[in-house]
Amino acid sequence: MAAVTLNIEPLDATFGAWIRDIELRSIDDATFESLHEAWLEYALLIFPDQFLTNDEQDAFAERFGNLEFSAAPISNVSKDGKVHHDAGDDLVKSLKGNWGWHHDSTYMPLQAKGAVFTAELVPADGADTGWADMRAAYEALPAADRELVHSLEAHHSLYYSQGRMGLLPRRRDDGSYGMYGYHDMDVSLRSLVKVHPDTGRPNLLIGRHAHDIVGMDPAESEALLDRLNAEACVPPRVYQHAWTAGEAVIWDNRRLMHQGVPFDMTQPRKMWHTRIAGEPESELALNHSAESLRFRHERDALLNSGG
């Protein structure tokens, strides 16, 4: 298949690029192959003036893999037009939780591979999205920290991250929260260093959902994770995007963390999020499948060989 030349404009960061002069709803296979290569290289691709329908957004996302879930609103506007902004509102709590740096679905048995995100309604001021490059963060670690994190595993939980921020939703009568991610399965366990399954290069896997490093005192674990997060998410390893309606992005959730940037929630905002499921061979939590243990050993062998 002949390669297609894309109009790529790299960001002023260690990752990310604008892709211009393309219509995602109608790309052919050759163009997709070039896009996929660019995605693996840059991890975040930004496409202006797309105005995708939900079905078009899902169809584009499905070219990268199976969907964890199809286009869902990330919005403070409900179906009846109400703009949610009260601090005690469960929807507001969920949206505010996203203001912390995180990888998607590390709290699920299967971590997400990536996501397509589009802008329908953007506030006049703020409501940006930030991304942070965990491969570059890993590469910037001092030698002592790099040696330390290779041997560590942390739990990942939405109960933990939302609870620490004081943003847990109200419980239902049956004691559940009834919202995505608040499952009753084992708390997912993941290595602090992840080897990317396509590039073979390691990156940190941390973020707000990570907690209780195995074998470490909880306070010591929290302090270490907070430090790693703070030191990772600084220029040139971060990019903050100011949205324009109609834009679409796709990012590699295996390599990048992201966060919503706080904004005046009396202003309406509507975004659409399609989440791409990870492949079980590389994205299963360590404690959710015996098969996943094989990949942990392969990861350790690669790291120990200096890969």
Q: What is the pLDDT of residues 245-273, one digit of tens each?
A: 999 999 999 999 999 999 999 999 999 99
The pLDDT value recorded for residue 1 is 66
The pLDDT value recorded for residue 293 is 42
Position 173 confidence tier, pLDDT thresholds 50, 70, 90: confident
Fold category of 7-304 in CATH: Double-stranded beta-helix (3.60.130)
Alpha-carbon distance of 161 to 98, in angstroms, equals 10
Alpha-carbon distance of 171 to 169, in angstroms, equals 6
User: pLDDT of 288-297, one tens digit each?
Assistant: 865 544 544 4
Quickly list DSSP for 227-278: HHHHHHSSTTSEEEEPP-TT-EEEEETTTEEEEEPP--TTS--EEEEEEEEP
The pLDDT value recorded for residue 292 is 46
Q: Where do the structural domains in the chain lie, given as residue ranges?
A: 7-304
Contact residues for 79 (Cβ-Cβ < 8 A; gap 6+) = none
% of the chain at pLDDT higher than 90 = 88
Q: Worst-scoring range by mean pLDDT, 136-150, 214-228, 279-293?
A: 279-293
Mean pLDDT (the chain, rounded): 93
Backbone angles phi, psi at 278, to 5 degrees: -75, 160
Position 176 confidence tier, pLDDT thresholds 50, 70, 90: confident
Quickly list DSSP for 204-241: E--STTEE--TTS-HHHHHHHHHHHHHHHSSTTSEEEE
User: pLDDT of 9-40, one tens digit each?
Assistant: 999 999 999 999 999 999 999 999 999 999 99
pLDDT at 228 over 80: yes
Contact residues for 47 (Cβ-Cβ < 8 A; gap 6+) = 18, 19, 20, 22, 24, 247, 248, 249
The pLDDT value recorded for residue 175 is 80
User: pLDDT of 82-126, one tens digit each?
Assistant: 999 999 999 999 999 999 999 999 999 999 999 999 999 999 888
pLDDT at 169 over 50: yes
pTM for the whole structure:
0.92
The pLDDT value recorded for residue 282 is 95
The pLDDT value recorded for residue 206 is 98
Q: From the CA atom positions of the chain, what is the Rg in Å?
A: 19
The pLDDT value recorded for residue 138 is 98
